[in-house]
Amino acid sequence: MGSRRTVSTRSAEQKAADRRAKAEQMQAQIAEQVQAMAESTGWREWLDYLANFHSYSLRNILLIAAQRPDATQVAGFRTWQSLGRQVRKGERAIRIFGFSSKKVTETDPATGEESQTRIPRFPILSVFDIAQTDPIDGTEDRTVTEPGDIVTHVQGEDETGIYDRVAAFITAQGWTITREQIAGTTNGYTRVDGTKQIVVDADLAPAQAAKTMIHETAHALLHADPDGNRVDTGDVEAHRGIREVEAESVAYVVAALCGLDTSAYSVGYITGWADGDPELVTATATRVLACVHRIADALHPHDDQDDTDSAAPDAA
């Protein structure tokens, strides 16, 4: 009996050690991706990934990119089966972090009163890219084409009404939108002086106006407080480049989610991002992701992308 307990304990300890080692390996992959993102090409690649995986956490996007750079749509084994597709035998899983919680009862040593709380857990989960699957014979393929597969160039029309939809969203936040002729090369601007006003050049083509509307909305969400005043970041001019990269990155991703390819314009901003501090890059990426979440959820309130079969997406 004692021998079996020893073997069982040792086995559990080994499994725990294996989990810790795997988690450390995954964290190292994340660190490598952050370093790559500090380069202009790495930043654009991350934004392209974000267009496919915007509802995932930042670290899971980085993990997917590190393990399968060509991934476009991932899900767990059983989720693919429910969508009419089967993961091929021998395919290597993409490891990401899930999220779950465990309910525990705690006793107050002073009063003896019991209270229940939940402890967060981040299990390592397996997902597979759609390219690792095949349709199941006799079963309807229920996968959905990604919005980014429908491309409308920035000089064209705003075919899905992005401008009006984004304008309605930010207007509901108390901002005023106007179309005016703007001298020079400026396409739009956001007043962060308490007036809560966004101005978009009246002469822009519909697609360009839609992109500019997203860009200025990102400024309003990221760089103004609830009263419409500039968020204090110290030296305004020193941080201007970061603010512009953040706003244009959000515009690039949200436009792609809505079927509008703005790369001809946006890449000029993105390629200006180089030699960044990894910590600053991570903070910027996190802010871009959060802003994309907010706008995309408003434009697509019924979209629901599932990270895993057995746990909720990692929200870290």
Phi/psi at 100 (5° precision): -150, 175
State pTM to two decimals.
0.58
pLDDT at res. 93:
93
Tokens describing residue 290: 């959060």
Q: How many CA atoms does the CB half-sphere of 78 hold within 13 Å?
A: 5
Would you tell me how many other CB atoms lie within 10 Å of the CB of residue 193? 11
pLDDT digits (tens, 9 = 90+) for 46-91: 777 777 776 677 778 888 888 988 888 888 898 888 888 999 999 9
Residues 198 and 221 occupy one common structural domain: yes
pLDDT at res. 262:
77
Question: Which regions in the chain score pLDDT beneath 70?
Answer: 1-10, 16, 19-20, 22-24, 26-42, 54-55, 99-101, 120-121, 142-155, 184-185, 232-240, 264-280, 301-316
In order, the DSSP letters of 250-289 are: HHHHHHHHTTEE-HHHHHHHHTT--S--HHHHHHHHHHHH
Alpha-carbon torsion (152, 257, 129, 29), positive or negative: positive
Assigned domain for 89 exists? yes
pLDDT at res. 168:
95
Residues 154 and 295 occupy one common structural domain: yes
Residues 289 and 183 occupy one common structural domain: yes
pLDDT at res. 198:
96
Residues 169 and 233 occupy one common structural domain: yes
pLDDT at res. 63:
85
Q: By residue range, what is the domain housing residue 292?
A: 149-299
Assigned domain for 68 exists? yes
Residues 244 and 108 occupy one common structural domain: no
pLDDT at res. 205:
85
